Structure 1
Amino acid sequence: MFKSNNLLLGMVYGLIPPVLAWLIFAVWLKNDGMMMDKPAMPYLIAIGINLVLLRFSARAYLDKTSNGIMIATFACTLLIFILKIYR
């Protein structure tokens, strides 16, 4: 999976888990009427998955890819908490 050392590719890798979490939990399950007690939990799980991806890319010595994943993780985390505060 991690073969090229590229910042933009790392950002794409870092955005995949939060986007999938949003698609699954906010769109698909909300239409079924299923309500969760903790609505931020799927996004926090996606951030945890990003941290695992960050660990694998760091062990492969792909510094630019690791930086891209880290940037995407911090941006998604900040966006989630800002949206949860103002909702």
Structure 2
Amino acid sequence: MLNKNNTSTGLLLGAILPGISLLVFWFLLKNQVVFMNKPGIPYFTAFAINLFIIRYCYAKGADKTGNGIAMISLLFMLAIFIFKLQSL
């Protein structure tokens, strides 16, 4: 999985979990599920899992892949903050 150490691989790997969370909570559940009156919890969970993947990549020496995952994760959380949590 980590035999290619480049940023584009990291961007692709980092987009998987946030993409799954968007698919599940926006399209399948129609934003009807709110955990503890906090609508951002599912997205923060995907972000936290990506942080563990980033740590794994850095431990294995795949720095560029880790940087790509970090970039897409931070962009995702910024988008969630702007579009989802600002309206609260």
- TM-score range normalised by the length of the shorter chain: 0.7 to 0.9
Could you tell me which residue of structure 2 aligns to residue 12 of structure 1?
12
- Residue 73 of structure 1 deviates from its aligned partner by 1.0
Question: 2 CA distance for matches of 1:46 and 1:3?
Answer: 24
Question: 1 CA distance for matches of 2:65 and 2:44?
Answer: 21
Shift >6 Å, 4+ stretches: none
Tell me the matched-pair count: 85
- Does the alignment pair 1:53 with 2:53? yes
Question: 2 CA distance for matches of 1:42 and 1:11?
Answer: 20
Q: Structure 1 stretches of 5 or more lacking a match?
A: none
Could you tell me which residue of structure 2 aligns to residue 73 of structure 1?
73
- Residue 86 of structure 1 deviates from its aligned partner by 4.3
- Residue 3 of structure 1 deviates from its aligned partner by 1.6
Paired residue secondary structure (2:30)? helix
After superposition, give the CA deviation of every residue in 1:24-52 in whole Å (9 maximum; x if it has no partner): 11111128xx4323221110000001101
Could you tell me which residue of structure 2 aligns to residue 35 of structure 1?
33
Q: Structure 2: which amino acid aligns with 1:28?
A: L
- Which has the larger helix fraction? 1
| TM-score normalised by L of structure 2 | 0.87
Could you tell me which residue of structure 2 aligns to residue 85 of structure 1?
86
Q: Structure 2: which amino acid aligns with 1:85?
A: Q
Question: 2 CA distance for matches of 1:50 and 1:86?
Answer: 25
Q: Structure 2: which amino acid aligns with 1:39?
A: P
Sequence identity (%): 36
- How big is the alpha-carbon RMSD for the aligned residues of Structure 1 and Structure 2? 1.6
